[in-house]
Amino acid sequence: MDDFYVSQSRFSDPGPHAGWLDGTPRTIAALREAASELVFHYWAAGDITEHGFPAARRAEITLRYATDMWARLRELDPAPPGRPRPPLNRIVGCCRDFTLLFVSMARHHGIPARARVGFASYLMPGWYLDHVVAEVRDDDGWHLVEPQLPAGFRDPVDEAEFDLFDVPRDRFLTGPDAWTAARAGDLDPALLVVAPDLDVPFLRGIPYAWHNLVLDLAALNKHEMLQWDIWGALDDSVSLPPATLARADELAGLMATADVGQLRAAFEAGDVRVPPVIRTVTPPEQHLAEVVLR
């Protein structure tokens, strides 16, 4: 059911900026390149103020909807995506935002696209870092596209040039793949982290694998959530009860083989369905707030 992933979600919909996106490139390669110029990561290059950003611009990481992100980008630079943007003309955000903007552009041009939440081993040697990439469908099926990294990115593990248009599935583990590998003993769950030096128990290991599994199910259902959103069965527990482990095993197995209809049916369950009001824990202060989704 590719039509499901061609239509916009309430999160990826450009709204009044759709006409503006008519000026964006139409190939996956060019859209990926354009997306990589739209966001400045809020922590990957150190404190944003060291790069000329006012501290107040950290608030841009809470932008949830593509229509608001496109509005801010147009304020910063009225040229449509597809041209180089100086860092200060990009929104402050993270991997999810690179991906959402790529997916918004791809769907705008009729390309089936969706976000995938999981863990990448190509960002820091020895670790699987919390990450979000895109997945697009062409004549050869679904393949992973990395919207965040610049062209010519080299794998820090072996310095080889990395395929940003077809990310190997052993280098980016989707939520269900990471969960299954960790539960089977094929991957040390201690390597699954938001960041190695972030000493918050909930943000590492099996608890965070469960978090990303649910966020990935939401993304497959076109609910492209912020990485720090929590709802339903998600909380800040550092030890999962047996019932949650069994539920995660069940979902991971289903997500590995399910079609769109099955994924949508699974998402109707109360423990994973995104409700009208969620909680979000915004970094770096871990500020907890309720959010009414629109």
pLDDT digits (tens, 9 = 90+) for 53-99: 999 999 999 999 999 999 999 999 999 999 999 999 999 999 999 99
Report, as an integer, the average pLDDT of 253-274: 96
Among 198-202, 207-211, 267-271, the range scoring the smallest mean pLDDT is: 198-202
pLDDT given at position 122: 97
pTM score, whole prediction: 0.97
How many CA atoms within 13 Å lie on the side-chain side of 247? 19
pLDDT given at position 286: 85
Report, as an integer, the average pLDDT of 2-18: 95
pLDDT given at position 36: 98
pLDDT given at position 2: 63
Nearest CA-CA partner of 272 in 294, 292, 252, 242:
252
Query: How does residue 178 score in pLDDT terms, banded at 50, 70 and 90?
Result: very high
pLDDT digits (tens, 9 = 90+) for 221-233: 999 999 999 999 9
pLDDT digits (tens, 9 = 90+) for 104-158: 999 999 999 999 999 999 999 999 999 999 999 998 899 999 999 999 999 998 8
pLDDT given at position 287: 87
CA angle 30, 35, 41 (to 5 degrees): 150
CA angle 37, 196, 163 (to 5 degrees): 40
Give the span between the Cα atoms of 1 and 10, in whole angstroms: 19
**pLDDT more than 70, % of the chain:** 99
Instruction: Find the helix packing angle between 175-184 and 205-220, rounded to 10°.
Output: 150
* pLDDT higher than threshold 80 for residue 1: no
